[in-house]
Amino acid sequence: MSGLNELTIAAARDALRKGEVTSAELTEACLAAIEGAGALNAFVHKTPEIARERAAAADQRLKAGDAPPMCGIPVGIKDLFCTRGVPSQAASNILNGFRPEYESTVSQQLQDAGAVMLGKLNMDEFAMGSSNETSCYGNAVNPWRRGNDAAPLTPGGSSGGSAAAVAADLCLGATGTDTGGSIRQPAAFVGITGIKPTYGRCSRWGIVAFASSLDQAGPMTKDVRDAAIMLSAMCGHDPKDSTSADIPVPDFEAALTGDIRGKKIGIPREYRMDGMPDEIEKLWADGTAMMRDAGAEIVDISLPHTKYALPAYYVVAPAEASSNLARYDGVRYGHRAKLAQGDGITEMYEKTRAEGFGHEVQRRVMIGTYVLSAGFYDAYYNRARKVRALIKRDFETVFADGIDAILTPATPSAAFGLGEMANADPIAMYLNDVFTVTVNLAGLPGIAVPAGLDRQGLPLGLQLIGRPWEEGALLNHAYVLERAAGFVSKPVKWW
């Protein structure tokens, strides 16, 4: 059988259970694809020995008839997840050489379900970025190109390596994390599906923290069914994360009925931005028509504080980051700067952090430090938290009015060229998250689904936002959109 690495999780699961294929074969196909895809720079730490060992164990379980849905499925893990004995650097030089003595809850759950880890995936440093260009490993590259133009494009960020790896069939699925759009924007840029569940669904334990009140893990997969399967394996209550929700995890795949008749889909007028490209506008209108044709009722809604989501986010997230990243001090793990004669502990901290953190991380830590400092705490941090409460209230109001899901574009553009934003001011890069960041601030589930190609042949995605804890219903809406859009394009292999 050829192209085993191209299978969906659902197809591989069914073939494994029927005995038509082994996990060892699937794993070898992915490892070979990874070896041939160095140009994408998606996998930054490969773990073939671990993969082969886990594949053999999965094949034993399958033989014994003890096979959960993810059993034997080869996946990639974002470098932000701590994995025991395997480098886990959050794409930062400050964690150079760090090999955790423990395993993150999410990657442990995947392992317990029989999933096979192929290695660690590239990302923006500490998940701060929208183009994977802040990584200490160098850029990950989008498998898609603009027609015959060989200019390398960004796979988006921060989960850029995860996006590139899934789109290029180097693995069947990958973990991502999403603080302001870091699963959904890269998924849209490479034409795959990515879901950020409700805040509290996935344990954050063992995931390198960026902004603790916004961070959530989620799967990045080839289609909606796979997202449902992989998400079920990643979710669940964890006493080690105090914000982890102690509520049952339903079978998300069982929610995919394809029936959304009578459901109310909200179209928020504030998401129609000035200067929005025609193609995005058309994609959104087409998606709206598809939902209507599927029997849903389309409702114009208002989320009046949308405009303030990005500025609120860029207060709250750096504030939390400056606190979370205080732990990187050159004492307990990772990099420590070489000290000069007479340097004391303060010089050790300052030099270590100057050498270990990249430019964007330094900037955000300092912004966070400033907005939390005496005299500015109320003016910036408290005000941003109040605006955040209003943004959340906007969503609560429309859901109370009976809206089942909200449809928006996933990104304001298709994937841009690597380096194209180098001279833009940081705010221009931040605008990538304009449609996704509200969802993190309100703690809601959101999913990006590929819905079409732009005139340069690049994928574009739509986003659906769901009610809290109703990922099953959200996935079902996404499933309807996916089937109606019929997106089947794949990047032409050049790597």
Q: Report, as residue numbers or ranges, the catalytic residues.
A: 78, 158, 182
Site for other proteins in 94-153 (CB under 8 A): 97-101
Is the CB of residue 209 less than 8 Å from the CB of residue 215?
Answer: yes
Among 236, 334, 446, 491, binds other proteins (CB under 8 A): 334
Do the Cβ atoms of 234 and 202 come closer than 8 Å? yes
Binding flags for other proteins, 262-301, as an x/- string (CB under 8 A) = ----------------------------------------
Q: Which residues contact 3 (CB under 8 A, 6 or more apart)?
A: 29, 169
Q: In what order do the strands lie in the sheet with 173-178?
A: 43-46, 116-121, 74-78, 173-178, 216-221, 193-196, 446-453, 459-466, 405-409, 264-268, 297-301
What tokens were used for 263?
A: 């459901």
Contact with other proteins (CB under 8 A): which of 204, 335, 467, 477?
335
Q: Looking at 271, 380, 399, 416, which residue binds other proteins (CB under 8 A)? A: 380
Is residue 220 at the binding interface for other proteins, with CB under 8 A as the rule?
no
Q: What is the largest CA-CA distance in the chain?
A: 74
Which of 351, 397, 421, 456 forms a contact with other proteins (CB under 8 A)? 351
Among the candidate windows 14-22, 37-45, 171-179, 374-382, which touches other proteins by CB under 8 A?
374-382
Q: Is 387 in the site for other proteins (CB under 8 A)?
A: yes
Binding range to other proteins, per CB under 8 A, among 29-37, 130-138, 251-259, 351-359: 351-359
Dist CA 105 CA 205 (whole Å): 6
Residues 6+ apart with CB under 8 A from 130: 124, 156, 157, 158, 181, 182, 185, 429, 430, 432, 433
Taking a C-beta distance cutoff of 8 angstroms, is the pair 213, 312 a contact? no
CB within 8 Å of 320: residues ≥ 6 apart: 209, 210, 211, 212, 213, 214, 368
Phi, psi (degrees; rounded to nearest 5) at 400: -65, -30
CB of 126 to other proteins, least distance (A): 14
Candidates 112-120, 218-226, 262-270, 307-315: pick the segment binding other proteins (CB under 8 A). Answer: 307-315
Among 332, 400, 423, 488, binds other proteins (CB under 8 A): 332
Q: Is position 236 an interface residue for other proteins (rule: CB under 8 A)?
A: no
CB of 39 to other proteins, least distance (A): 32
- Decide if residue 180 touches other proteins (CB under 8 A): no
Ramachandran area for residue 258 (φ above 0: left; ψ -120 to 50: alpha; else beta): left
The CB-of-345 to other proteins minimum distance in angstroms stands at 5
Q: Do 67 and 114 touch, CB atoms closer than 8 A?
A: yes
Judged by beta carbon, residue 82 or residue 224, the one nearer other proteins is 82
* Strands 74-78, 173-178: pairing kind: parallel
Closest Cα partner for 86 from 52, 23, 44, 126? 44
Q: Does 446 bind other proteins (CB under 8 A)?
A: no
Task: Select the span of 141-149, 161-169, 305-313, 454-462 touching other proteins (CB under 8 A).
Answer: 305-313
The answer to whether residue 425 forms part of the interface with other proteins (CB under 8 A) is yes
Task: Give the nearer residue to other proteins in terms of CB position, either 1 or 331.
Answer: 331
Nearer to other proteins, 318 or 491 (CB): 318
Q: Residue 285 or residue 326: which is nearer to other proteins going by CB? A: 326
Choose between 171 and 245: whose C-beta lies nearer to other proteins: 245
Residues 389-418 that bind other proteins (CB under 8 A): 389-390, 392
Q: How far apart are CA 109 and CA 23, in angstroms?
A: 18
| Minimum gap (Å) between residue 425 Cβ and other proteins | 6
What whole-number distance in Å separates Cα of residue 444 and Cα of residue 440?
6
Q: How far is the CB of 180 from other proteins (least distance, A)?
A: 14
Distance CA 19, CA 11 (A): 12
